[in-house]
Amino acid sequence: MRIAVTGSSGLVGSALVRSLAADGHEVVRLVRRAPGRPDEVRWDPHAGTVDTAALGPVDAAVHLAGAGIGDKRWTAAYKRELRDSRVLGTAAVSRALAALEPAPRVLLSGSAMGFYGDTGDREVDESAPPGRGFLADLCTEWEAATAPALEAGIRVAHLRTGLVLDRSGGTLRRMIPLVKAGLGGRLGSGRQYWSFISLTDEVAAIRHALDHPDLAGPVNLTAPHPVTNAEATRALGKALHRPTALPVPAFALRTVLGDFGNEILTGQRVLPKALLTSGFTFEHPTIESTLTAALTP
């Protein structure tokens, strides 16, 4: 297949591109700078433009681009950047794909488990309504921005991804040095649920969704056994042979991270019903197997 990918330099995007290329697929990478390679096409998410002439026909698209949720303190300006990078970018990609002739068969568009808001101990699957809060509102707008692709008859799946755990990036890369230094511990009460997924399973699930026409609408990309923050922290400490008794107070998170601190103190107990129903098998279904894979060189 010829597959367009945005966010190809990120943790998930780079691993996905390697996997697709290794199996002989032609990957076209949408980049925000001047293209420097034959497999690159220029796009500008804020301006809402994609070089469709250079893009040409594609069989599928995987849209993963967006400013990092935890990269900066959540000021009003950065919250606007988080929204615009996702909503404007998704609308631009959707319009561009809808204009192609022929249109691609499928668009897999990034979303997040934050859609569900704070679920407490309650398990949720794809049938659950949106929750409350900035991330829930953002995910709702983000998903709605795929409307042009849907109206063009393109199958659209919203990838509601959990915490992707891998030593090379994301949450785990930030936690490892803290735990190794003996500074790791639960965040706040630690009772908030963390729905996670290994990088291996994340890429495999995306590729599964590309090939399964029954997967449309929301698709939770999370392992089937979510754990609390305290349980995840203990498991990481055990894997690294370090204590994790030093908690991080809730007020400290709010002070350092702004509104993002409040989001960290909430949790989502998410189940991947759509993936499991479609026959997907997780290689790393538990936090222990996920951390073993993530920490193995």
DSSP secondary structure string for all residues of 190-237: S-SEE-EEEHHHHHHHHHHHHH-TT--EEEEES-SS-EEHHHHHHHHH
Tell me what the mean pLDDT of segment 109-123 comes to. Answer: 96
Domain that holds residue 277: 2-295
User: What's the pLDDT at 263?
Assistant: 72
* Per-residue pLDDT, 262: 67
Q: How many domains is the chain built from?
A: 1
How far is it, in rounded angstroms, from Cα 117 to Cα 131?
4
- Residue 158 pLDDT class (50, 70, 90 cuts): very high
Residue 173 — pLDDT band, cuts 50, 70, 90? confident
Say yes or no to pLDDT of 181 above 60: yes
Q: Can you tell me the distance from the alpha carbon of 238 to that of 218, in angstroms, rounded to the nearest whole number?
A: 34
pLDDT band (50, 70, 90) for residue 108: very high
Question: Which pLDDT score is estimated for 174?
Answer: 83
- CATH code for position 189: 3.40.50.720
Is the pLDDT confidence value at 251 over 70?
A: no
Q: What is the DSSP letter of 166?
A: B
Q: How confident is the model at residue 164 (pLDDT cuts 50, 70, 90)?
A: very high
Q: What's the average model confidence in pLDDT over 128-134?
A: 95
pLDDT surpasses 70 at 81: yes
Residue 185 has pLDDT above 60, yes or no: yes
d(CA 176, CA 94): 37
Average pLDDT, rounded, for the chain: 93
What is the mean pLDDT of the segment spanning 100-129? Answer: 97
Rounded to an integer, the average pLDDT of 169-175 is: 86
Q: State the pTM of this model.
A: 0.94
* pLDDT above 80 for 86: yes
Segment 204-229, tens digit of pLDDT: 999 999 999 999 999 999 999 999 99
Cβ proximity of 161 and 126 under 8 Å: no
What's the mean pLDDT in 69-89? 90
Residue 256 scores a pLDDT above 60: no
Q: What is the mean pLDDT of residues 114-136?
A: 96
